Amino acid sequence: MLAGKGRVVDKIYGMTNVEHSNVSYLMDAAEQFRVMKEMRQEGMEMVAIYHSHPHSVAYPSAKDVELAFYPDSVYVIAGLLAEERPEIRAFEIIDSEVREVRINPIVA
């Protein structure tokens, strides 16, 4: 999960994939609850959820769309089809509608 204020990411939370799969993911519910609580305590919100597509392009799969439960968050996908040039794209997924959004990486 990516946490921050507005659309600015201030903190990255790596989450456990309880599916232990490289083709699908499901966050550990207890870990997700703990992280969401910590975000609130620090005055942040969930800005985005990120994951990778190791064998495909950076575009939401049908399962990604089905499991997009946070319409206020952006879904960032790293497509690793071309290992030497990972593709990173971001999307809003609202009511099963996928819309790409521009991301501006800023490294401090």
Q: What CATH number is associated with residue 21?
A: 3.40.140.10
Pairing mode, if any, of strands 74-79 and 45-53? Answer: parallel
Residue 108 has a pLDDT of: 56
Give 85-108 pLDDT, tens digit per residue.
889 999 999 999 999 999 887 665
Residue 16 lies in a domain: yes
Query: Would residue 107 count as lying in a domain?
Result: no
- Beta strands across the sheet bearing 2-5: 8-12, 2-5, 45-53, 74-79, 87-94, 97-101
- Read off the pLDDT of residues 3-40 as tens digits, 9 standing for 90 and up: 999 889 999 999 998 988 777 888 899 999 999 999 99
Total domains present in the chain: 1
82 has pLDDT over 90: no
| Amino acid, single-letter form, for residue 12 | I
Residue 106 within a domain: no
Three-state DSSP class for residue 31:
helix
Identify the domain containing residue 89 by its residue range: 2-101
Query: How confident is the model at residue 20, as a pLDDT?
Result: 80
